[in-house]
């Protein structure tokens, strides 16, 4: 009954390779995210999709390409991996916020994918 | 852009009360959230303030002052399991966009 699940949990690969991380949520949320957390624990948003549409695209190298086949899935493909890509990548999901009521919709995070580039 | 400041480390004894402050500079501010992250774990949502004032959830409370661009997380009756990193995060723009602070590492001691 995992809410947000991402695979693989660990990914060790060589520089220059291409890899993918998959994420699935069973919470019925319509918004999904990818975050990168570096070795200093700085957590930064990379992408966000709402109902399969890209709504947030931060300054991320073109080597990173998200894909959302449906609103329950958001995958991340990384081409030509570099040493600096070593980090923990978190997938998250939430309902869309209402700007009218200032209410909150918490983001639910997956357990993370620990990517190590050799 | 956005910037958030919070202390890097805080130490407190079990049973005590600790306050973690967060100041922010941002445009299009919508609200302030707090997340907890244990070592090796995922961030988990703790509290949210969309309007000024105090929100209480069990042992945790969070406060926001929009005019001062300031908020804090208050943890009461500290337990060893509260040892973790705590992140403040501002909601901006589309409101779904969260920008996280650098995190405060809380160490609870006996």
A42, A94, A102 member nearest B51 (Cβ): A102
* A10-13 and A113-117 strand pairing: parallel
CB contact under 8 A, A104 and B97: no
pLDDT band for position A51 (50/70/90)?
A: confident
Q: Flag whether residue A31 sits within 8 Å of chain B, measured between CB atoms.
A: yes
Number of residue pairs across A and B with CB atoms under 8 Å?
A: 64
pLDDT at residue number A104: 75
Burial class (CB in 10 A: 0-12, 13-18, 19+), A83: exposed
pLDDT at residue number A99: 56
* Average pLDDT score over residue span A15-25: 97
pLDDT band for position B27 (50/70/90)?
A: confident
SS3 label, residue B81: helix
Mean pLDDT comparison of A2-6, A114-118, B90-94, highest-scoring range = A114-118
User: Higher confidence at residue A88 or residue A2?
Assistant: A88
Q: In angstroms, rounded to a whole number, what is the distance separating the alpha carbons of residues B53 and B72?
A: 11
Q: Structure tokens of B71?
A: 């908020």
* B29-37 and B84-92 strand pairing: antiparallel
* Average pLDDT score over residue span A103-115: 91
């Amino acid at each position: 009954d995992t809410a947000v699940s991402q695979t693989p949990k660990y990914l060790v690969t060589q520089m220059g390779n291409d890899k993918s991380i998959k994420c699935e949520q069973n919470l019925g949320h319509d918004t999904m995210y990818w975050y990168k957390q570096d070795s200093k624990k700085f957590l930064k948003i990379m992408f966000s999709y709402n109902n399969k549409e890209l709504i947030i695209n931060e300054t991320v190298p073109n080597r990173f390409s998200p894909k959302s086949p449906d609103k329950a899935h958001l995958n991340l493909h990384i081409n030509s991996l570099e040493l600096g890509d070593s980090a923990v990548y978190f997938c998250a999901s939430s309902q869309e916020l209402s700007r009218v009521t200032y209410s909150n919709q918490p983001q639910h995070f997956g357990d993370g994918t620990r990517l190590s580039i050799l | 852009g956005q910037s958030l400041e919070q202390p890097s480390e805080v130490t407190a004894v079990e049973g005590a009360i600790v306050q973690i402050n967060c100041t922010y500079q941002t445009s299009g501010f919508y609200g302030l959230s707090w997340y907890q992250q244990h070592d090796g774990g995922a961030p988990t949502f703790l509290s949210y303030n969309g309007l000024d004032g105090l929100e209480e959830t069990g042992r945790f409370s969070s406060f926001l002052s929009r005019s001062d661009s300031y908020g804090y997380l208050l943890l009461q009756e500290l337990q060893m399991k509260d040892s973790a990193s705590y992140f403040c995060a501002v909601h901006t723009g589309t409101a779904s966009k969260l920008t996280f602070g650098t995190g405060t590492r809380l160490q609870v001691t006996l």
